[in-house]
Amino acid sequence: MNTTDEKNKRASRILEAVGDIDEKYIKEAEVKVATANVAAPDSVADSASPAATAEKNAASPAAAAETAGTTNSAEPNVIKMSTKKGIKPYVSAAALVVIVGALGLTIRNMNIPTTTAVASAPAAAAASADTAVAPAAAANEVTVAKEAAAPNDVAVANAPEMAAADSAVVDNAGPVGKAREADMAQGAPSASADEAVIKSDAPNISAAAADSEVAAAAINPEITEVNPDPTKVRVGNVGLANPFRDFATMEEAVESAGYEIKLPAPVGEYTALAYRTIPSDLLEIIYSTEDGTEGYRIRKAPGDEDTSGDYNDYPEEKEVQVGDVTATLEIKDGYVATATWGTGDYSYSITTDEKKFTEDEAIELIKAIS
């Protein structure tokens, strides 16, 4: 390795270590939230600007219905995370042109007035006009278009259904969903990712558009998948299952994880009351008192990454040798807050809550688990 590479590598270590500086300095220098060039997360509502939200909703009843459905959802065991894949705006815009053209062509062949055809894709119209008033205006006409169009022929966005719908919606419904990105490319605020998302009750692309490479690129099958259970679909978001699974017994958890763990004897008044896994990824045992006060938890996971999930900085860190294992102890106020180590193909961690472990106690636990 030459000197420059070596220096860069060492500088990289400094840069990486800057990520572990005290949080007070991070907060002190916090950056302003970018309003341009940065796509707002789909699930982020502009809570600081209710007026803007109201305006958006007024202009887009479909989006309003979706937004309400998204934010008010109380579905259990679902963490909402966007899985929308970013697609370059110009690709989306090009796809829109193709799709709107195909839409018009198909509907003209069916003797449906062109104006109706355009109206039937309100978000697309909104995008091309750089305005967001099309959906409301088009609402009644769209039904006609929907009835006329063959379901498998053209992706006809159905605004009335959308506005009324509190279920059965499609995540980022292909071409129309991309209208938002086209808007953003034209300098529109990126305040809401839900703004131009619209439902399509037919495949999202016409036969003509399917021939277009651009259109195909713009329509990601991953994001146009319809959830068979309409009550679990999110607009602009995808319902992602809670990664953790809880089990009543250790045996069940081990079966889910796909590997075993040696458990130490419970410490103090804490007993193993919860067994959880992220299947094939993490096995976790939580020790609590009978009244539910958590004492500590033990984790095991394949690989050599830190499994503790603890990103806090602790005043003291030290390595201890426990048999063949080198464990890292992070210490606060004289007690071990986190212990992490690896052996074989697995990494382990002990993280504490109410239970205060001395170093000796932590080492005994590590011995018992390893």
Partner 1 sequence: MEDTDIIDLYFARSEKAIEETSNKYGKYINTVSYRILRNESDVEECVNDTWLHAWKAIPPVRPEVLKAFLAKIARNISLHMYEKTHAQKRGSGEMAVSIEELTDAVPSTDNTRGIAEKQVLADVLNRFLEGLSEDNRVVFVKRYFYLLSVKEIAEDLGVGESKVKMQLLRSRNALKVMLEQEEIYV
- Chain residues binding partner 1 by CB under 8 A are 7-8, 10-34, 37-41, 43-45, 47, 71, 76-87, 242-244, 278, 282, 294, 296-297, 308-313, 317, 319, 330, 351-353
89 versus 160: smaller Cβ distance to partner 1: 89
Give 102's contacts (C-beta < 8 A, 6+ positions apart): 154, 206, 207, 208, 209
> Which amino acid does the sequence have at 270?
Y
Distance from C-alpha of 86 to C-alpha of 210, rounded to nearest angstrom: 20
64 versus 184: smaller Cβ distance to partner 1: 184
> Which amino acid does the sequence have at 333?
D
23 versus 166: smaller Cβ distance to partner 1: 23
41 versus 113: smaller Cβ distance to partner 1: 41
CB of 98 to partner 1, least distance (A): 22
* CA angle (247 as vertex; 242, 249 as ends), nearest 5: 165
14 versus 51: smaller Cβ distance to partner 1: 14
CB of 135 to partner 1, least distance (A): 25
78 versus 188: smaller Cβ distance to partner 1: 78
Collapse the DSSP code of 182 into the 3-class scheme (helix H, G, I; strand E, B; otherwise coil) and give the result: helix
Range 220-223, long-range pairs (CB < 8 A, 24+ positions) = 220/85, 220/87, 222/83, 222/85, 223/83, 223/84, 223/85, 223/171, 223/172, 223/177
CB of 132 to partner 1, least distance (A): 20
CB of 288 to partner 1, least distance (A): 11
| CB 191, CB 197: distance < 8 Å | no
CB of 273 to partner 1, least distance (A): 14
CB of 82 to partner 1, least distance (A): 6
Side-chain-side CA neighbours of 159 within 13 Å: the count stands at 29
Range 50-58, long-range pairs (CB < 8 A, 24+ positions) = 52/189, 52/191, 53/192, 56/132, 56/191, 56/192, 56/195, 58/136
80 versus 367: smaller Cβ distance to partner 1: 80
CB of 162 to partner 1, least distance (A): 22
Which of 174, 190, 177, 164 lies closest to 66, judged by CA?
164
Give 184's contacts (C-beta < 8 A, 6+ positions apart): 39, 89, 190
CB of 212 to partner 1, least distance (A): 21
Give the total residue count for the chain.
370
37 versus 111: smaller Cβ distance to partner 1: 37
